[in-house]
Amino acid sequence: MNLDIGAVRVSLGGTPILRDATLTAEPGDFVGLVGPNGSGKTTLLRTVYRALRPDSGVVRVGGEDVWSLSPRAAARRTAAVLQSRNTPGGVTVAEVVALGRTAHHGLFSSGEDRSAVRDALKQAGVADMADRAFGSLSGGERQRVLLACALAQRPRVLVLDEPTNHLDIRARFELMDLVRGTGITVLAVLHDLDIAARYCDRLVVLHQGVVTAAGPVLNVLTPGTLREVFGVNAAAELCGDGVVRVVYHAAPLA
């Protein structure tokens, strides 16, 4: 499904956070949302998974305004992998992933619930840990389990909030490869510009609540944007192996 965010405005406690933020993702697109701390990335994401209602503007998933859908119906279209989550002590991986079926099931779990959980565990590469305690996993494994939970939702759009945060470099690549491999429409807040450049089809730059650039990676991560928005002396370059890398030329600008 496609994701359309149109002219979204949000103020929190009187402070404008998002000003006419607009963004589209075509079905299967992998869109990265980048910007410095406090630019409004997480706030924009929250309007997509229906945790925050914009003051004005519209968020459409598959053509439907998410705020005209019930929470349940919206969660059947959109799943989210978020930064913080409370996990009760002793909860197992299978139980965490099964939570992804909350918006689907009737009173009892159906065959479809069970197969969705099984598929998600397999797809995220965590099927062999199903009976382990979530608390016994490494950071990378935990993140893959949370991805499996989102996949069990069988979403058409997947949003991720800094999914590679606190992960070691190998776990970052593993996770992003998994997300990329799902083929689902993705909107991911990413702090690591190099990861963003490597995996995203398109990037959207948020700066002080305004979308200042959007489009293919090489068009967006220009030296000018990197300097003005991120305050670094850098550029995105297409390397010989077809991978786009961000090359930092010097220490951050004064």
Partner 1 sequence: MTRHRAQTAPLHFVPLPACLAVTGAGLVAVMLIAIGVGSVSVPLGDVWRVIGSHVLGGTATADPVSEQIVWDFRVPRVLLAALCGAGLAVAGVLLQALILNPLAEPYVLGLVPGASVGAVLVITVGAGVVGGLSASSAAFAGAMLAGAAVFALGRAAPARLVLSGVAVGYVFLAATSYLQLQANPGDLRQVMFWLMGSVAGARWDQLGLVTAVVIAATAAVLLAGRRVNALVTGDETATALGVDVRRTRLLLLVLAALLTGTVCAVAGGISFVGLMVPHVTRLAFGVDHRRVLPLSALLGAGYLVLVDLLSRTVDAPNELPIGIFTAAFGAPFLIWLMRRDRTES
Q: What residues from 169 to 228 belong to the interface with partner 1 (CB under 8 A)?
A: none
Closest distance between partner 1 and the C-beta of residue 128, in Å?
Answer: 16
Dmax over CA atoms of the chain, in Å, equals 60
Cα separation, 90 vs 137, in Å, equals 12
From 24, 44, 26, 47, select the one nearest 35 (Cα to Cα): 44
Burial of 125 (0-12, 13-18, 19+ CB in 10 A): middle
Q: How many CA atoms lie within 13 A of 46 on its CB side?
A: 16
Closest distance between partner 1 and the C-beta of residue 80, in Å?
Answer: 4
Segment contacting partner 1 by CB under 8 A, of 6-14, 65-73, 191-199, 224-232: 65-73
x/- mask, partner 1, residues 12-51, rule CB under 8 A, reads ----------------------------------x--xxx
Answer for the pair 47, 53: CB distance below 8 angstroms, yes or no: yes
* Choice from 92, 208, 212, 222 touching partner 1 (CB under 8 A): 92
Please report whether residue 103 would count as binding partner 1 according to CB under 8 A: yes
What are the residues binding partner 1 (CB under 8 A)?
46, 49-51, 70-76, 78-80, 82, 84-92, 95, 99-103, 105, 107, 131-136, 153
